[in-house]
Amino acid sequence: MKILFYDTYDYDKNAFEEQLKNFPDIHIDYLEADINPVTASLAKGYDAICAFVNSDLGALTLEILAGFNIKCILMRCAGYDAINMETAKNLGMTVLRVPGYSPEAIAEHAIGLALAADRHIVKGYNRVRENDFALSGLLGTTLHGKTAGIVGTGKIGAAMCHIVHGMGMKVLGYDSYHNPDLDFVEYVELDQLLRESDLISLHCPLFESNYHMINADSIAKMKDGVIFVNTARGGLVDTQDLIEGIRSHKIGACGIDVYEEEEPNVFRDRSSAVFESVVSTLCAFPNVVLTSHQAFFTKEALAAIANTTLTNAQAFAKGNLEQLPAPNIVS
């Protein structure tokens, strides 16, 4: 089976080449360019293409791929909102994905952001590099004995619940599904979670129904000086209201891995570009730590993504799709 990979970086290639040893019948070529109607024609002669979160797999791209008899789209991520699924179904395409990989990786990054922002770790490090050993401005909060509010207690949220519980925090959860494995979590309504939590961390998917669920109203309900973390999706938070919340000191520390306007930035080196963005506003605050969609980015997660993607590809090639876990199959 020959697969053309789009939107790849050296770390993708390394992770896949390592796993390929176990899949001798699969050959991969890697492109840096992402897929779109122009680059789709490069897939001529391949059996499948592999794409990522920000790829353009709209109707035109899919029709071009179908013209080259490509019947399999491999997403090396959980989300498939980049694909026009109606067109993919009409064209009889199989779409496979990686529904879950190292949820702990994201939860560990979330607590890392909380600590980095609240304990001013980046600022402290920069000071020490300049031989400035003063502590003024670096005061943080002890989390032990405080309350954590976890919004969404699925795979990643559950991992986060375990981490904060292990740190000695009381854990409040907000989710319509009450995870029976989390017997130490007290499930409450969102308003109570907002009112009582010292640390709030988002771990739910983004839907139309929860777009901007964190806005001026919900921020007003939070405790003064709350630590707020978002590693879920940018659209869950109204960025301008968040900025106001930080300015007014309602939010005492803020860790962000995803934000609304991230799409042109994610995974790209734009250090030479001149552009305006909320990034510079957020980074100007001394109590904000911002990363660019890197919460998933661990060796273990990349290995799991590569292994599942290649298992999906092999099942397609052998006509064994029924042997895959059902969530891997989108259509």
Choose which of 49, 214, 295, 306 interacts with ligand NAD (CB under 6 A): 295
Q: For residue 322, indicate whether it is catalytic.
A: no
What is the spatial distance between Cα 52 and Cα 36, in angstroms, rounded to a whole number? 12
| Residue 28 or 254 having the CB closest to ligand NAD | 254
53 within 8 A of 79, measured Cβ to Cβ: yes
Q: Does 58 engage in binding with ligand NAD (CB under 6 A)?
A: no
144 within 8 A of 197, measured Cβ to Cβ: no
Q: Could you give the 3-state DSSP secondary structure of residue 25?
A: coil
Q: Under rule CB under 6 A, which residues in 195-224 are in contact with ligand NAD? A: 203-206, 210
User: How near is the Cβ of 278 to ligand NAD at its closest, in Å?
Assistant: 17
What would the two tokens of residue 330 be?
């989108």
Q: Does 80 engage in binding with ligand NAD (CB under 6 A)?
A: no
Task: Enumerate the H helices of the chain as residue ranges.
Answer: 10-20, 59-67, 85-90, 103-118, 121-129, 155-166, 190-196, 216-221, 239-247, 278-283, 299-318
Q: Does 153 engage in binding with ligand NAD (CB under 6 A)?
A: yes
Contact string (CB under 6 A) for ligand NAD, positions 99-138, x = contact: -x--x--x--------------------------------
What is the spatial distance between Cα 63 and Cα 160, in angstroms, rounded to a whole number? 41
Q: For residue 129, indicate whether it is catalytic.
A: no
- Contact window for ligand NAD (CB under 6 A) among 33-41, 114-122, 148-156, 266-274: 148-156
Starting at the edge strand that comes first in sequence, how are the strands of the sheet with 170-174 ordered?
A: 185-187, 170-174, 147-151, 199-202, 226-230, 251-256, 288-290
| Residue 232 or 251 having the CB closest to ligand NAD | 232
- Contact window for ligand NAD (CB under 6 A) among 30-38, 88-96, 125-133, 292-300: 292-300
Options 233, 247, 268, 322, the catalytic residue? 233
DSSP-derived secondary structure for 293-307: S-TT-SHHHHHHHHH
Options 262, 263, 268, 300, the catalytic residue? 262
What would the two tokens of residue 78 be?
């959980």
Q: For residue 109, indicate whether it is catalytic.
A: no
| Residue 58 or 79 having the CB closest to ligand NAD | 79
The residues carrying an active-site annotation are 233, 262, 293
